Amino acid sequence: MTRSGVAEHWTKHNSWPWTAPPGTWYRQEVFGAGFGYSGPSLVQSRLGTKGFPENGLGELHYVGATSSGAMQHWRRVTGGMWEYVTTFGAGVTSGPALIEGTYGAGNEAGIGNFELCVAVGEQIQHWWRHNSSGGPWTLGAEFGNAASRVVGLLQGTYGTNLEIIVQRTDGRYQHYWRDGAGWHAGVIMV
């Protein structure tokens, strides 16, 4: 994301066909407008594939927060251009964290839900999107306190829990996780 509020898609050239020297970074495309906050929110999904997203297959998905506090979802199909999907949420003042999880997938090669966490008003919002049906973004939970931004989001192998690290308003970090019973506050770290 640039200071002017647009997103830039950059690619590093690493393989044949050698149209640029190995290791060369180049800008492929500029898209969107009005972005104010960005986070770890670019994923290569299983959407558009039959199996695993390898060899450049699988759609790229990006969610950024606008300066007006909403989030914009964009996608890029293999070989295509970035295209706007939808706008959702309100009051966002930090970049979101996005993954494609295993919830909603029939097996390990199936299409899973998008899971997104973002800080809003010192709380954390968990949003999800059912990708098999292309459904809308759904606010699943609001939890926590003193949250400044979500630093990272993952789905672990222990019970397939979702786990996040949040930077707090006091500058410290806190772990949260979600299991079948919902979201839980973990330890606060220095």
- Whether 84 is covered by a domain: the verdict is yes
pLDDT, tens only, 62-89: 999 999 999 999 999 888 899 999 999 9
From residue 97, alpha-carbon distances to 10, 78, 152 in Å are 19, 22, 6
What local confidence, expressed as pLDDT, does residue 55 receive? 63
- Whether 1 is covered by a domain: the verdict is no
- Whether 101 is covered by a domain: the verdict is yes
Ramachandran quadrant class, 108 (left: phi over 0; alpha: psi -120 to 50; beta: rest): alpha
Q: What span, in angstroms and rounded, lies between the C-alpha atoms of 157 and 127?
A: 20
Average pLDDT of span 98-127: 90
**With 0-12 CB in 10 A as exposed, 13-18 as middle and 19+ as buried, what is 49?**
middle
Q: Which of 8-22, 32-46, 66-80, 135-149 has the lowest mean pLDDT?
A: 8-22
Q: Can you tell me which residue has the tokens 């999904």?
A: 45
Closest residue by Cα to residue 71 from 12, 25, 156, 7 = 7
- Whether 2 is covered by a domain: the verdict is no
Q: What is the CATH number of the domain that holds 143?
A: 2.120.10.70
Within 8 A by CB and 6+ apart from 110, the residues are 46, 104, 132
Structure tokens at 164: 């996040």
Give the domain extent around 178: 7-11+26-189
Number of domains the chain is built from: 1
- Whether 134 is covered by a domain: the verdict is yes
pLDDT, tens only, 134-182: 889 999 999 999 999 999 999 988 889 999 999 999 999 999 999 989 9
Q: Which of 2-16, 52-66, 67-81, 113-127 has the lowest mean pLDDT?
A: 52-66
- Whether 157 is covered by a domain: the verdict is yes
